[in-house]
């Protein structure tokens, strides 16, 4: 398996991505370090300098740490698992995979529903909706950026409720909605945009998993539509049927 030249993607970046994936897969768990630069160079068919560029990028991300004479040690290795089910909740989904969970409100505004949004939330086109931009963290590392829309009439004050609790579930409870269910989830993947890079502290070229999710109350009335973005090398989804 060889890296691709003249593809518009620098060799060092391709190699960095491959090593990052290998670390996440646990391929180097036996030693706790990455193979020596010289053997990685042989494996990928490149110069050692090129491998060094890749490792430097991973060191910048905090994933590895090179020690002269010893090798390149693996510092951080994480891939959070998010279950997707009828009862999907962000905080519960993480479970004990992280100790500290945090939800930050980046921005909130009221706007009127576009045709697409109105049809998903079963509102009239132009109906008032509240939009929240949120950033969620696990153990102080950002793990997702999300934009969520709620019917404004029913959920006035949800921005404050979310800001105070850091949790959608808690905010809903505060507004009198005690239970809600996931109706559908669409999953795609794209390259990180500049907002992702800034908010999630990623390096360019990173891959994002994108979910578009609809939640409804017990009567099936839509209560939330959300587009969430997760760094693909930190996250995987599990659908249990």
Partner DNA sequence: CCCCATTTGTGCGTATGTATT
Partner DNA sequence: GAATACATACGCACAAATGGG
3-state secondary structure at position 4: coil
- Report the partner that residue 38 touches, choosing among DNA, a copy of itself, none (CB closer than 5 to 8 A by kind): DNA
> Taking the complex as a whole, how short is the minimal distance between the CB of residue 85 and a copy of itself, in angstroms?
6
241: Cβ contacts below 8 Å, ≥ 6 apart: none
CB 81 within 8 A of CB 63: no
Q: Which is nearer to a copy of itself, 5 or 76 (CB)?
A: 5
Other Cβ atoms closer than 10 A to 209 = 20
Instruction: Write the binding mask 17 to 36 for a copy of itself: x where contact by CB under 8 A, - elsewhere.
Output: xx--x---------------
Q: Is 89 in the site for a copy of itself (CB under 8 A)?
A: no
Q: Is 47 in the site for a copy of itself (CB under 8 A)?
A: no
d(CA 172, CA 102): 17
Q: Which is nearer to DNA, 50 or 215 (CB)?
A: 50
Other Cβ atoms closer than 10 A to 166 = 17
List the one residue out of 197, 236, 209 whose CA is nearest residue 84.
Answer: 236
Q: Which is nearer to DNA, 26 or 36 (CB)?
A: 36
88: Cβ contacts below 8 Å, ≥ 6 apart: 82, 182, 185, 213
Q: Is 115 in the site for a copy of itself (CB under 8 A)?
A: no
Give contact residues for DNA (rule: CB under 7 A).
5-8, 10-13, 33-34, 36-39, 45-50, 52-53, 55, 66-72
3-state secondary structure at position 90: helix
Binding residues for a copy of itself, rule: CB under 8 A, are 1-4, 7-10, 12-14, 16-18, 21, 57, 79, 81, 84-86, 88, 181-191, 193-195, 197, 203-205, 207-209, 232-233, 235-241
């Amino acid at each position: 398996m060889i890296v691709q030249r003249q593809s518009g993607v620098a060799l060092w970046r391709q190699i960095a991505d491959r090593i990052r994936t290998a670390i996440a897969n646990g391929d180097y768990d036996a030693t706790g370090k990455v193979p020596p630069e010289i053997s990685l160079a042989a494996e990928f068919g490149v110069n050692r300098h090129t491998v060094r560029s890749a490792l430097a990028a991973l060191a910048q991300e905090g994933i590895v740490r090179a020690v002269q004479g010893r090798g390149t040690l693996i510092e951080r290795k994480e891939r959070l698992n998010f279950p997707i089910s009828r009862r999907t909740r962000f905080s519960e989904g993480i479970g004990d995979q992280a100790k500290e969970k945090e939800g930050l409100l980046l921005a909130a505004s009221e706007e009127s529903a576009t045709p697409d949004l109105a049809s998903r939330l079963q509102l009239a086109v132009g109906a008032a909706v509240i939009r929240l931009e949120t950033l969620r963290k696990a153990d102080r590392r950002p793990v997702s950026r999300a934009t969520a829309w709620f019917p404004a009439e029913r959920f006035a004050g949800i921005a404050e409720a979310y800001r105070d609790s850091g949790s959608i579930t808690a905010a809903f409870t505060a507004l009198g909605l005690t239970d809600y269910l996931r109706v559908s989830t669409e999953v795609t993947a794209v390259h990180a945009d500049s907002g992702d890079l800034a908010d999630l502290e990623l390096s360019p070229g990173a891959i994002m998993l994108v979910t578009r999710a609809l939640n409804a109350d017990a009567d099936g009335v839509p209560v939330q539509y959300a587009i969430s973005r997760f760094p693909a090398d930190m996250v995987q989804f599990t659908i249990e049927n």
